[in-house]
Amino acid sequence: MAVKMRLMRMGKKKAPSYRVVVVDGRSPRDGRYIERLGTYDPLLPKDSGERIKFSEERVKHWLSHGAQPTDRVLRFLDVAGIRKREARVNPQKGEPGKKRLEREEAKKTAAEEKAKAADEAKQAAAEAKKAAAEAAAAPPPPAEEPIVEEPAAEPEAEAEQPASE
């Protein structure tokens, strides 16, 4: 039988308090326990002596009999100086998940495309403005005299035809 030291939730909704208990590892969180070792009230200030209370003698007894404390109970035991808790390192814990990375990549790509389109629009506007400035600054082309074409001489044959009316 795997014996554990863990917290058992008590109290009411939105006002939790816990019991530090020794249980069979297969029993539910709030189920039957072997022995009650103490209490933990997270609503009290951290420097309060009433926040965590437990019987050190009974804790040492159960540890000597192979009871495994959960991480939270081990933190309490470390503060009390009963058992040392090694700091855990999980470098992947803070990394974003696969879907979030995909969303951020899509967002980044869309932002780059939007920035590229904005740059192209700015360049086109700058070129149009530059062309308009050059056109305004250039002197007007010299006025050319209109070329007047003289009417071509009518063939004499048409003039000599008698009117047959």
Could you report the per-residue pLDDT of 96-146, keeping only the tens digit for each? Answer: 899 999 999 999 999 999 999 999 999 999 888 888 888 777 776 666 777
Structure tokens at 13: 């909704």
How far is CA 153 from its chain centroid?
87
3-class secondary-structure state, position 21: strand
Q: pLDDT, tens digit, for every residue of 47-80?
A: 999 999 999 999 999 999 999 999 999 999 999 9
Q: pLDDT, tens digit, for every residue of 80-96?
A: 999 999 888 888 888 88
The fold of the 3-80 domain, in CATH, is S16 Ribosomal Protein; Chain: A; (3.30.1320)
Domain regions of the chain by residue span? 3-80, 98-134
Q: What is the pLDDT of residue 105?
A: 94
Q: Which residue has the higher pLDDT, 165 or 133?
A: 133
How far is CA 102 from its chain centroid?
11
